[in-house]
Structure 1
Amino acid sequence: MAKHSFSVPFSGSSQDIIAKAKAAIEKAGGQFNGDEGKGGFSVPTPAGTVKGTYAISAQTFAVDITDKPFIMPGAAIESQVRKFLEKA
């Protein structure tokens, strides 16, 4: 069961949004796997590892956070993911 779910609309191709997400997560020391349809990721943080899955439908990047540190609010993770996806 997801601990936090949200969707991020995007413009451009699904390949572009995947490339942005993969680059940002790997730069943060995390792991990213998947394709233009769906996949998963994990990112280490000082409080613990954040894990999740994603799915792309039309122009929407839907994220389900499946595991996160108890002390880390879902809204903080959502904010960071949105920043990752905005970076060119």
Structure 2
Amino acid sequence: MAKHSFSVPFSGSSQDIVAKAKAAIEKAGGQFSGDQSKGNFSVSTPAGTVKGTYAIAAQSFSVDITDKPFILPGSAIEGQVRKFLSEA
């Protein structure tokens, strides 16, 4: 069961948004696997590891955080993902 779910609308191609997400996760030292329709990721934070899945439908990048440190709010993770995806 997801601990936190959200969707981020995007413009452009699904390949571009996946490439952006992958680059951001890997730059943070995490692991990312998937394609233009769905996949999963994990990244370590000072508080612990965050794991999740994503799916793309139309122009929406949907994220389900499946595991996260108790002390790390889902809203903080969502904010960071939104920031990553908005960067050029």
Question: What is the TM-score normalised by the length of structure 2?
Answer: 0.99
Which residue does 2:39 correspond to in 1? 39
How far is the alpha carbon of 1:46 from its aligned partner?
A: 0.1
Aligned to 1:70, the other structure's residue is in SS state coil
Matched with 1:67 is 67
Alpha-carbon distance between aligned partners in 2 of 1:79 and 1:68, rounded to the nearest angstrom: 14
The SS at the match of 2:84 is: helix
Pairing 1:83–2:83 present: yes
- CA drift of 1:87 comes to 1.2
Name stretches of at least 5 consecutive residues in structure 1 with no aligned partner.
none
For residue 23 of structure 2, give the secondary structure of its aligned residue in structure 1.
helix
What root-mean-square deviation, in Å, do the aligned CA atoms of Structure 1 and Structure 2 show?
A: 0.3
Partners of 2:32 and 2:56 in 1: CA distance: 15
Q: Which portions of structure 1, spanning 4 or more consecutive aligned residues, are displaced by more than 3 angstroms?
A: none
2:27 corresponds to: 27
TM-score, length basis structure 1: 0.99
Figure out how many residues of one structure are paired with residues of the other and give that number: 88
- Displacement of 1:12 in angstroms is 0.2
Matched AA of 2:71:
I
**What amino acid sits opposite 1:37 in the alignment?**
S
Q: Which residue of 2 aligns with 1:11?
A: 11
> Residue type of the partner of 1:26?
E
